[in-house]
Amino acid sequence: MPDKITHSKAECSKDTRQTKIPKMPVYSCTCGEAILIIPDIPAMNEAIKAHLTKHRKITSQVLTEDALTQEILKKIAEQHPLL
Binding residues for Zn ion, per CB under 5 A?
29, 31, 33, 55
Smallest gap, in angstroms, from Cβ of residue 36 to Zn ion?
A: 13
Which of 29/72 has CB closer to Zn ion?
29
Nearest approach, Cβ of residue 51 and Zn ion (Å): 6
For residues 72 and 26, give the distance between their C-alpha atoms in angstroms, rounded to a whole number: 9
User: What is the nearest approach in angstroms of Zn ion to the Cβ of residue 31?
Assistant: 3
